[in-house]
Amino acid sequence: MGPARRLLPPSSSLPAIRSLNDQPESFILSALSDLYSLYCPLPTSLAFQTNSAPKDPPVAADSGYASDNDEDTGECEQGFELRDDPYERAFAERWLTSFLGRVEELTCFESEDSQQYAIDKASCVLASFFCEEGEENIEDTEITRDYRFTLNLGSGGVKEHGENTKSETITVQLTDGLAGRDNTDHTDVGLQSWGAAFIFTELMCAAPACLNITKDALGSAPRIIELGAGTGLVGIALGKILPPLGVPTSTIIATDFHPTVLANLEANIIKNFAAQRDSPSPSIRVARLDWQTPDLSSPLDKQADVLVATDVIYDPEHAVWLRDCAARMLKPGGIFWLMLTVRTTGKFEGISNTVRASFNGHDGLRNPQGCVLTILDEKRFARPSGIGRGDESEYRLFRIGWAS
């Protein structure tokens, strides 16, 4: 065994984000492994595991601060010092955040397995920064954030005490979990909040009339169902903006499929509305829904005035399942708002094309009036800086309704 290498700070050893494509895959994987060793010194029984590691991982290059000697006391002390250094920790956090934002665009990985392995490793280290002190299993990490949106009330807005106002700040507190713990199960993506949900919520608050979110369009007691609600951002935001818009008694049902996602979704809803028991608020509930074989018993036994879904298509058959499920749940005259994320690289490349093919106005279930769900209108939104992941090129908002 050779002499131990001196640990180097992340700020002086990590490659520049802009030069990642100039680095060999082995160097990047080694750098991520070193970050993991530095910031996630778990017991052996809790060591990092992933189903997506390459079958034949590349030989790791020396990135500059990994140790060959676990028994070197001086190096251990140095590791403790680096781990506790707030500047180095902040640098590593920024680097990992930038890496995850661009990883889908990188061409330096030799296979999708290697790329996914890098994503898992980076996500694991980044999540560890948000663990409580003494928390051992970073796979159970949850991150709680407050998101604020400015609701445009126009000239008809009414606040709680009756005064007229033109805007109001809406705060949504969400707990995001660490999705992708099981790399064979894509249905837990709802543990995280995705770019399309933020874009839709921003639009919903900035221009509610553009989405027919007004008292005149919805009536006094609309029924709104969110499909693939995930962390609940859109549904919770709806519950907060409808009373100021003059719609105090709506029914909102947030649906998803994965049991862990549903548990987190319900906790987020309780967290956001527990303090509003004495003020006007909608009825907002959680329900399990499998699009392929939907169980439309209570509370899903009544059709909706509005359906909403954001970034819910991750497999070629999802669009067909979604179309046929929506056809059973949407009232005649109702509207289905579907915001789609367009990904032009990675394993979800081209999946977005299945939506237009499925909602083509000819295929699918027909309602008693002989109408079929079809795309009535489409708008495109560029991905703003700082929103979404690197593989998200744009967002498309479809207004879907009944047509003969």
| CATH code of the domain containing 331 | 3.40.50.150
Q: Are 14 and 95 in contact (CB under 8 A)?
A: yes
Residue 47, SS3?
coil
* Residue stretches of the chain with pLDDT short of 70: 1-8, 41-80, 130-142, 155-165, 177-192, 275-281, 386, 389-390
Q: What pLDDT is stored for residue 180 in this prediction?
A: 42
Q: Does residue 2 form part of some domain?
A: no
Q: What pLDDT is stored for residue 332 in this prediction?
A: 96
Q: What pLDDT is stored for residue 262 in this prediction?
A: 92
77 in the same domain as 217: no
Q: Rounded CA gap, 385 and 196, in Å?
A: 13
154 in the same domain as 33: no
167 in the same domain as 30: no
Report which of 373, 376, 284, 283 is spatially closest to residue 328, judged by C-alpha positions. 373
399 in the same domain as 353: yes
Last residue of a domain, one of 114, 138, 162: 138
**Sign for the pseudo-dihedral over CA of 195, 392, 152, 217:** negative
Q: Does residue 103 form part of some domain?
A: yes
Q: Does residue 5 form part of some domain?
A: no
Q: Are 125 and 92 in contact (CB under 8 A)?
A: yes
Q: Does residue 222 form part of some domain?
A: yes
Q: What pLDDT is stored for residue 281 in this prediction?
A: 62
Q: Which two tokens stand for residue 303?
A: 């059709």
175 in the same domain as 102: no
Bridge partners of 147, per DSSP, are 172
Q: What pLDDT is stored for residue 176 in this prediction?
A: 78
Q: Rounded CA gap, 250 and 224, in Å?
A: 8
State the residue range of the domain holding 72: 10-138
- Pairing between strand 251-256 and 283-288? parallel
Q: Does residue 15 form part of some domain?
A: yes
Indicate the DSSP class of residue 5. P
Q: Does residue 349 form part of some domain?
A: yes
150 in the same domain as 105: no
Q: What pLDDT is stored for residue 230 in this prediction?
A: 92
95 in the same domain as 40: yes
Last residue of a domain, one of 138, 153, 186: 138
Q: What pLDDT is stored for residue 280 in this prediction?
A: 56
Q: Rounded CA gap, 195 and 404, in Å?
A: 33
48 in the same domain as 126: yes
Last residue of a domain, one of 138, 154, 179: 138
Q: What pLDDT is stored for residue 78 in this prediction?
A: 54
Q: What pLDDT is stored for residue 222 in this prediction?
A: 97
Q: Rounded CA gap, 243 and 31, in Å?
A: 50
Report which of 221, 212, 211, 214 is spatially closest to residue 155, judged by C-alpha positions. 214
172 in the same domain as 119: no
How many domains is the chain built from? Answer: 2
251 in the same domain as 176: yes
Q: Does residue 345 form part of some domain?
A: yes
Q: Does residue 254 form part of some domain?
A: yes
183 in the same domain as 132: no
Q: What pLDDT is stored for residue 224 in this prediction?
A: 98
Q: What pLDDT is stored for residue 343 in this prediction?
A: 86
172 in the same domain as 131: no
